[in-house]
Amino acid sequence: MGAAGTASWAASPARHEAGTPNLLGAIALAAVCDALTPQRWKALVDQEHHLLGRLRAGLATIPGVRELRLFTPAHPRVRITSFTIDRLDSAQVAQQLADEHGIGVRVGLFCAHPLTRHLLDARNAVPSSAIRASLGAGTSAEHVHRLATAVRAIATP
């Protein structure tokens, strides 16, 4: 800070930085990269792919649940799925998943508003947003089962 009532700005590019760098996160990321040998990476990807298949299959059996997708189910994809539940507000479903089941999901249009709105319209979905479940290295078969069971409980009156 300069004299009373004035500010002094750093020169570019430093003045555009958002704050203290995430040093601990960078160190942790480097450690994970060192630990993930090609064999471990393949095992992780295979496990996540298997779990995504189980989640998508479980959600597909629930009446009123609609997966949002552009491609066929067999198309390679990242380990996420977005869906809606007919007649239910996605934000309220996400809140119920968190409050009643201890499950965190994302809700909204996912920084892809035109695409998500297109997918919602294509499915004639009543909700104006969707729910997204993301799988990762810490996701287990039990987590997938809990999510599918919780969605079934919420979707079934």
If we measure between CA atoms, which residue out of 13, 73, 24, 79 comes closest to residue 51?
Answer: 79
| Catalytic residue IDs | 111
Rg, Å, the chain Cα set: 21
What residues form DSSP beta bridges with 67?
Answer: 83
Report the alpha-carbon distance of residue 116 to residue 104 in Å, rounded: 20
Amino acid occupying residue 119: L
Q: Give the H or E element holding residue 119.
A: helix 113-122
Question: Among all chains, which residue has been given the structure tokens 């499950």?
Answer: 103
Q: Please, are residues 59 and 73 in contact by the beta-carbon 8 Å criterion?
A: no
